[in-house]
Structure 1
Amino acid sequence: MATMEDHATRWFNVQSVPHSYTFPPEKRPGKHPFSTCTAIPIINLNSPEKSDTIQKIIKAGRNFGFFQVIDHGVSESVSTEALNVLKELFNMPLEEISRDAIKNGWVHMGSTSFDIDGVHLWRDNIKHPCHPLEKCMQHWPQMPTRYREVMATYVQEIRRLSWRILELICEGLGLEKGFFEEISQVQFLSASNYPACPDPSVTLGVLKHFDHSFITILFQGNVDGLQVFHDGKWIGVGVLPNAFVVNIGTQLEIMSNGKLRSAEHRVMTNSEEDRLTIATFINPSPNCTVEPAKALINESNPPLYDSFMFKDFVVSSNAFGPYTEVVQTKD
């Protein structure tokens, strides 16, 4: 029977799940089939009724912490090309991937290098910063040769989309125009390859966690796997053609003084197909003071969270290692 050691360059090509990838019973997703929740809002950003769009976003951010956007202005060809070039990268021999990562200064977390409580996640993952774009691009993968050009186009489109969504949120919360754009950046990109798994009931692609961003923009490709914890149970965020999943992060929860909520989420594996995703994290600027927006605070709505410098929070909480807990509220 095949083992991980038999497949140095294709670690996931196995017939059974090795012990080092098998989570203890209390952390396993179990044998429940992936079911899509139809209640998670799908919001058309090109709707002529702007006020209705804003209300839907605020309601979704309050009730679920997640929503999907369609008719968003990002060309399908841009997203498809990004997935294609990432597929080329993940299909490269591991030695070539590691050599490129070391040479250019980006992060590759393969199956054997990312270990949670002694158990490996069922995924390959790369990360690299995106701001400032022109400078960061010099440290992105050089192979495939078109990677930098393709992903720069994608990142620029996501930046425009993210600021558009943040501006709608800003208006919905009653904050001044441009409030978030002045203090936010497209901080980094995280792309993950979740190979088909022999037994999804004992593995996870990503453990349950909160995102410590303003918002996270996720392109899911065409295979399900993302789950959100809502009303005491895990629900699936289904794949929609050319849609983006928007996730409210803990920093936006704080600045909205709890009017919006960050949601815990995780990634399941799939027994039939590989799953490839791209997440971009829209974060506060390093020197930004994160605190409830003063316009939202009054005697009847006191601040629910302490203030802090975002750069200090990143260091102290190991944020963006994706397994830190949500920041503490005031007692």
Structure 2
Amino acid sequence: MEKLVSNWYGIVQPLPENYIFPPDARPGKLSTAPSIPNCNIPVIDLGSQGHDRDQIIQKILEASQEFGFFQVINHGIPDASLNDAMAVFKEFFELPLEDKEASIHSDDPNIVCKLYTSGVNYDWEPVHLWRDILRHPCHPLEKFMPLWPKQPIKYREHVGKCSTQVRKLALSILELISEGLGIGSQYFNDGVTQQTLLYVNYYPPCPDPSLTLGISKHCDPQLITILLQGDVSGLQVFKDGEWIGVEPLSHGLVVNIGHQLQIISNGKLKCAEHRAVTNSSNARMSAAFFITPSPDCYIEPAAALINASNPQLYKGFQYKEFSAHFYMNQGNTEVALEPFKL
């Protein structure tokens, strides 16, 4: 707990050496304005589904093919619910250290609710990330909510409500994707969407944002991600050799494609590398809800997408095999898919 960046960042200048990335991995001069024409992350209005469902499906597929990312508005989740969740996350990270520690203490042997800094392998990392992270599962609520933080007092109420609504939205988007791919609207039921995992990232103001990262480049290993960005920018997506800023959008949510959805779509949809940069003046917070297969779920390209002109690109596997390989290689995008390619 004493290693949490939020516990000591305000008294340290300059940036500690063990947070300085190698020159080729540093963000350098931070510019989030894309220099490539027409390269803004797509924004999709989900509010007109009843009249333009086919058009919305087409926009989602195009964004998922070209960017692997898009933002959604008129998504059906009330602003109050999102605001309450983000406010209670902020309250949690502002708790005194001893209250944070007491809040997440659990006698559960699996310790599913964790608060840590940088990454899970802190003691073996060559360089640390400028972030603290709170992580816990969200689905099913009745199983996991008793293991969530006890403070702030409204944490379980607000996060429980928001996570239920975000999961419903994610499943709705997956239904649209399955229709667009032609694999059947029920494809993403049961094991392939069994879990919802929440990662709340907190990035304090940084002495030198040009030398470090909040999250290094990676693709998400899960199925699909719904991200609450807050109002401070920092998310960047890699496209055509450049990092593009995904600017916070009022009332909007970020959606991105994970490795499992790329595999199930037989490469038709793509997961994109992304990262989080820091800034020197404002703390930033984001909350990512990951829709994740069960460990034993068998993942393979959908049979409807394979034919003579579209051969199968990936072999089948249990999700726990992919997850073990992914984390053993610390999310290295160069090797994440290699053992599963045909």
TM range (shorter): over 0.9
Larger CA deviation: 127-136 vs 318-327: 318-327
Larger CA deviation: 308-317 vs 233-242: 308-317
Report Cα offsets for 1:288-323 as digits up to 9, x if no partner: 210000111112211100110112322343289655
Q: CA RMSD in A?
A: 2.3
Instruction: Say whether 1:297 aligns with 2:306.
Output: yes
Cα displacement (A) at 1:90: 0.3
Match of 2:9 among 8, 12, 15: 12
CA distance in 2 between counterparts of 1:32 and 1:295 reads 43
**Counterparts of 1:166-245 in structure 2 under 5 Å?**
166-182=174-190, 183-245=192-254
Match of 1:258 among 261, 264, 267: 267
Whether the 8 Å contact between 1:8 and 1:94 is mirrored in structure 2 is no
CA distance in 2 between counterparts of 1:215 and 1:9 reads 29
Please state which structure has a larger fraction of its residues in helix.
Answer: 2
Report Cα offsets for 1:19-49 as digits up to 9, x if no partner: 1211121111002333368521000011231
CA distance in 1 between counterparts of 2:75 and 2:197 reads 21
Whether the 8 Å contact between 1:137 and 1:152 is mirrored in structure 2 is yes
Seen in structure 2, the aligned counterparts of structure 1 residues 9 and 27 have a Cα distance that, compared at 3 Å, is closer
Whether the 8 Å contact between 1:222 and 1:239 is mirrored in structure 2 is yes
Match of 1:107 among 111, 114, 134: 114
Q: What residue in structure 2 maps to residue 33 of structure 1?
A: 31
Report Cα offsets for 1:135-187 as digits up to 9, x if no partner: 11111111112111111001100011001100000111011112113331343
What are the ranges of 5 or more consecutive residues in structure 1 without an aligned counterpart?
none
Whether the 8 Å contact between 1:212 and 1:320 is mirrored in structure 2 is no
TM-score normalised per structure 2: 0.89
Aligned length: 327
Instruction: Say whether 1:120 aligns with 2:128.
Output: yes
Larger CA deviation: 108-117 vs 154-163: 108-117
- Structure 1 SS opposite 2:8: coil
Write out the 4+ residue segments of structure 1 that deviate beyond 6 Å after TM superposition: 5-9
Whether the 8 Å contact between 1:224 and 1:238 is mirrored in structure 2 is yes
Whether the 8 Å contact between 2:326 and 2:336 is mirrored in structure 1 is no
Letter aligned with residue 128 of structure 1: H
Q: What residue in structure 2 maps to residue 83 of structure 1?
A: 86
CA distance in 2 between counterparts of 1:86 and 1:9 reads 14
Letter aligned with residue 272 of structure 1: S
CA distance in 1 between counterparts of 2:291 and 2:331 reads 14
Larger CA deviation: 260-269 vs 26-35: 26-35
Seen in structure 2, the aligned counterparts of structure 1 residues 38 and 70 have a Cα distance that, compared at 3 Å, is farther
- Structure 2 SS opposite 1:49: helix
Cα displacement (A) at 1:226: 0.5
Cα displacement (A) at 1:274: 0.9
CA distance in 2 between counterparts of 1:99 and 1:118 reads 30
Instruction: Provide the identity percentage.
Output: 47
Cα displacement (A) at 1:94: 2.3
- Structure 1 SS opposite 2:41: coil
Whether the 8 Å contact between 1:9 and 1:94 is mirrored in structure 2 is no
Whether the 8 Å contact between 1:57 and 1:169 is mirrored in structure 2 is yes
- Structure 2 SS opposite 1:69: strand
- Structure 1 SS opposite 2:60: helix
CA distance in 1 between counterparts of 2:264 and 2:6 reads 44
Whether the 8 Å contact between 2:176 and 2:185 is mirrored in structure 1 is no
TM-score normalised per structure 1: 0.92
What are the ranges of 5 or more consecutive residues in structure 2 without an aligned counterpart?
none
